[in-house]
Amino acid sequence: MIRSIWSNFKFELTSRKKFVAPYVYGFVIFAFMFFIVCSAGGAFKGVNITFGLGQKVFVNSPYAINLYYGLMSIFGVLIIAPIFGQAVCKDYEAKFDQIVLSAPVSRTGFYLGRFFGSTLVCTLIFLGLGIGHALASAMPFVQRSLFTAPSLNSYLLPYLTLIIPNIIIFGSISFAVGTISKKMSSVYITSILSFMGYLFASTLTRDIEKKTLRALADPFGVNALGRLTEYWSVAEKNSRLLSLTGPLLWNRVLWLGVSLVFLGVALVYAQRDRKVKIKSEKKNIVHSALSRKASVDFSTCMSFDLRSRLKLFWSQVLFEAKGSVKNIYFLCLTFAGILFVFFLSGQSGKIFGTETYPITYKILETTSGSFGTFLLIIIIFYTGELIWRDRQSRLNQIIDAMPLPTWIMGLAKFAALQLIIIALLSIVGLCGILIQTAEGYTHYELVQVFRTLFTLEWPHYFIFSSLVFAIHTLVNDKVYGHGFSVICLIGLIFLPSMGFDHVLYVFGAGDSHVEYSDMNGYGPFLARIRALQLYWGLAAGILLNVVYLFWFRGVDDNWSVRVSEAKARFVGPARFVLYVLALGFIAQGSYVFYNTNVVNEYHLPSQNEKNQLYYETTFKHDYDQKPQLSIVAVHADVDLYPKKLKVAANFVYTFENKTSGAVGEIFIKLPVRKKYVSFAFDREAKLDRDDVQVDVQIYRFTSPVHVGETVSLVYKVDYGYQGFQNDETATALAGNGTFINNSSYFPTFGYDERGELSSDKLRAQYGLKPKARVASINDVNARRWNYLTGHDADWIDFETTVSTDSDQIAIAPGYLQKEWVDGDRHFFHYKMDEKILNFYSYLSARYEVARDHWNDVKIEIYYNKGHEYNLASMMEASKQGLSYFTENFGPYQSKQFRIVEFPRYNTFAQSFPNTVPFSEAIGFIAKVDPKNPKDLDYPYYVTAHELAHQWWGHQVVGANVQGATLLSETLAQYSALMVMEKKFGREKMERFLSEERDGYLVARSQEEKTEQPLVMNENQQYIHYNKGSIVMFALKEEIGEKSLNAAIRKFLESYRYQKPPYVTSLDFVATLKANIDPKFHDLIDDMLTKITFYDNRIEDHTVKSEADGTYAVELKILGRKLYVDEHGDEIDAKMNQEFEISAKDKDDKLIFAKRYPLVSGTNSITIRTKEKPQSISLDALGIWIDRNRGDNKVTL
């Protein structure tokens, strides 16, 4: 048998050398990897392809190389499958199997030789990954700062852990399927299902407790790789080699075991010396063809008028469609897709593990979105099947000789594909309704279902399928047709990231994306979509004309012959149709260009970067630190026109010179083009500079504004959406749900460094030095401004009159002074009775209003009808929050608190003075099950958090330096957690904190610059939100809630409504230390001023039953504390603090909890419980950040 294996191994290698496909595969892999690495390495301006590496992870680091190899191996299955499949199917497809297998050779040796030969061929092909990566890394045009010293092990180890195992795994599966079915179609389907397996594993569960399950379920090992490295720091990713340990090891063992099973099945099946009766497709087609011939009247067939041809065309369409739908492979793909849809419906839309109600648009996004991947694959696969079915069954010459017009032969197959797509979309719609019904939701919006699936989704697939049909027709090779179609699909996905993002040349771009909102319906998206559907629909028509011209009939596939035939067909109707389509395409393209480039502005990504560069290099030196006027009052008349998507406003800004010297000019950044705005000062000023490139105007006063003097500026804007944009649809102005703020269409004053290039990678490309996110905490000048309102204002007087359509309610900060209706306009006059930050918003919609009160504070929730689900929770959070915050921190400064819903185009809530705009997507449709211990009432949490900002942000606001968000976001997090703990108890807090800890640890591994301690954080959300929650809860547990709150209250009282210089987080730390027992000062430093981790673990345990009926549990605990320095390196630190040790019984009920001191090194502790414990946990709440929580718990 060894000789048989060796001879067939050599034969496989020799035969492969003669084919061009392996060389093409290798070149494609090499070229793709080369381009990806060059792009990630900063070789191309305006190109941003990183695969989520972040800017601090070296492109050739061990982690990056593993990630690139792993992702490429997913697409590599499209190469692995045909190579292994052809190794066993080629003899059967060539009808050579009887001769080959009749030779006196070992069947096992025959198949194993081919298997090993295919394995080596694939391995050689995938060497292109390493060669492409290494070569690109050595190119002189990449940024050397993004690369580290190359390591041979970094390139070789991923082959042993990912590439070669994946070749064996998917090669075995393809080999087995090919051996059993003897058809390449089965192998292709298997490769598709393998890819689907990865998607399934990636969405298997969103629960953080089941990440390991998701890692094991992924046959490619990419999720296992992610699980192994998800908490690695940037420093570890840059230096640490990945080894076969943990989830990656078990994943490889599991799937290699599965592959051995498949290979074993294939070898056993090959030993069977019997004929397998398989109904050939040829017989089916001949039988169907004969049946049709027998059932059609001969005289009718001889008629060639238009009616007969259309009837014949429809008959051919039905025949092709039925042949595909009845195919077992089609049924398998469809069934897999439906299963995927039903499974994903239970996973999508979750926030903190909590589901949303299955409202129609959410279900459609889930079902059509997830099924969309299947549809694209079905289009690519079945286009090849439809075109090549006749040729594979060797009936093509008979059919080609029939008196059928060529246009019927090609277009009937295309139309059949469209019938299949429509049928599948119908199934998707039905699945969505079944999902809604199963969840007890019966508000079926069938019109929305129809419009979304058949007027938005289907045209997109129609357009894409025309491209695939044209590719298959022109290439005239099934395998290459599939290959080029996949390459085109990948190219269309990556083109925008490569800087090619205009809808005029990215095929099919922007023809289906729409964000449906319950508040605003399809909103402004449809006009853009319809224009692009027509544009690309005409392009699809041109491609179908090309399909007709180059449709292959006969036996001579020489390209010159095909061109001659195309010229012969390009007469009469074909010529006329193509000219009409081409003229329509050009005309519609002109219309699209007019909207995207004339009515609206279009910039290449590189041009946007250049504009930021120009802004910084032109204005920073002269204006960044230049003294300027400050806004002290705003009086605004704002007219919103929801139906016209327009805003007209008249602002009167009052400025005061609060500097130490005279100010002679004012720097204005326009929100829109200058033709929509005008300025008028109450003193003489001339336009000194008008820079249209970056919309900056600088006015110089004839006489300078002296210290203490005021200036009034009247600003007028009249702006509405016109046409549509290239890259996105503006949504701030909406037919129902307008939400704008003071930076949307209103000017900002003074140089704003947020307009600079922030990416260090991009800055290096343009020769700029790295840029700090925010000013240093020790920057005295930066303390002149707070971090919320920028450089142009702090506390202001505010009054506004806002009007909207008569059937809508307009909301702005302030108390309602007057409300009236004049014609079709509804007016509201609001005025604040105290100063607020220069931070305000306007909202307008057809609202329902829920009202309540807490003491003398009015509470109002403005919501869209039908979104009543969580109003009670929001209202309770408002009351409990007002009560807790007032009692513990200080009085609430307003007489009202309002929550105002806005459309889901943005998914956040934001706290303005006494008003909180709240997205419909993050609370109003949450489906919270109070009985489910895993569900978190996040509408309650978000409400409490945003209410807390009325203290932390609107009473105390930090300077525009490092650590500012500790004083707003972290303290708002802590405040919300205290209210939540009172409401839901510690078990829910354990769940919430685990989510926060996971979010922090994952995000820190993707840090773009430098991780900072909490006190120095630079508006890094994973620090001030996620880590902030854990740190503040830990301080509360150690110091005590009352003591900590008393110190926080002292801080607020000391800095409430402070004027420049603004408070910093160092002042907060100083206040804590001044008001808290000194024994906690080291803890405060560990939590706030340092990056501290713990690596504690329970190493051993024994359980003894005592004579008195109690249980003694002896624990051996290893204690370890670590500090992380500015380079990301970990340093051991001395530990001596208390940790909670708890026990639960078999029903997961807490039966014991007590704090014990732990020191660095080994600790021996004995706990005694009255009931028999089932599990012991060290720090069950997880308030001491430990990257490996698995060894903090033992099951007894």
pLDDT of residue 195: 80
Task: Say whether pLDDT at 631 is over 50.
Answer: yes
Task: Say whether pLDDT at 462 is over 50.
Answer: yes
Q: What are the tens digits of pLDDT across the range 1014-1040?
A: 999 999 999 999 999 999 999 999 999
pLDDT of residue 96: 59
> In this predicted structure, which of 558-562, 888-892, 1140-1144 has the lowest mean pLDDT?
558-562
- The DSSP annotation for 72-96 comes to HHHHHHHHHHHHHHHHHHHHHHTT-
pLDDT of residue 183: 82
In the predicted model, what is the mean pLDDT of residues 326-336?
A: 79
Q: What are the tens digits of pLDDT across the range 33-53?
A: 998 899 888 887 766 677 777
User: What domains, with CATH codes, occur in the chain?
Assistant: 2-271 (no CATH), 310-517+525-599 (no CATH), 627-750+789-952 (2.60.40.1730), 1092-1196 (2.60.40.150)
Q: Percent of the chain at pLDDT above 90? A: 58
Distance separating alpha carbons of residues 173 and 260, to the nearest angstrom = 9
pLDDT of residue 1152: 92
- How many CB atoms within 10 Å of residue 355? 21
Helices (H), 570-704: 572-593, 605-623
- Provide the CA 104 distance to its chain's centre, in angstroms: 57
This prediction's pTM? 0.89
Q: What are the tens digits of pLDDT across the range 1125-1144?
A: 877 889 999 999 999 999 99
Q: How far is the CA of 127 from the CAs of 27, 473, 583, 924, in angstroms? A: 10, 32, 48, 52
pLDDT of residue 367: 77
Residue type, 1194: V
Q: What are the tens digits of pLDDT across the range 411-435?
A: 989 999 999 999 989 988 998 899 8
Rg (CA), the chain: 34
Task: Say whether pLDDT at 93 is over 60.
Answer: yes
Is there a contact between 149 and 137 (Cβ–Cβ < 8 Å)?
no
- How many CB atoms within 10 Å of residue 198? 19
User: Residue 796 contacts by C-beta under 8 Å, 6 or more apart in sequence?
Assistant: 631, 632, 633, 634, 835, 836, 837, 838
Is there a contact between 258 and 194 (Cβ–Cβ < 8 Å)?
no
Is there a contact between 1063 and 958 (Cβ–Cβ < 8 Å)?
yes
In the predicted model, what is the mean pLDDT of residues 734-754?
A: 92
Give the HSE-up count for residue 1051: Cα atoms under 13 Å, Cβ half-sphere.
Answer: 30
> In this predicted structure, which of 68-77, 338-347, 1072-1081, 1105-1114 has the lowest mean pLDDT?
338-347
For the chain, the distance separating the N- and C-terminal CA atoms, rounded to the nearest angstrom, is: 52
In the predicted model, what is the mean pLDDT of residues 593-608?
A: 89
Task: Say whether pLDDT at 682 is over 80.
Answer: yes
Task: Retrieve residue 291's tokens.
Answer: 């049946």
User: Residue 905 contacts by C-beta under 8 Å, 6 or more apart in sequence?
Assistant: 515, 517, 523, 731, 734
Task: Say whether pLDDT at 277 is over 90.
Answer: no
User: Residue 876 contacts by C-beta under 8 Å, 6 or more apart in sequence?
Assistant: 940, 983
* Closest by Cα among 230, 225, 227 to 211: 227
pLDDT of residue 339: 82
Query: Comparing 298 with 1103, which gets the higher pLDDT?
Result: 1103
Q: What are the tens digits of pLDDT across the range 139-191?
A: 998 888 889 999 999 999 999 999 999 999 999 999 999 888 888 888 888 88
pLDDT of residue 341: 80
pLDDT of residue 654: 97
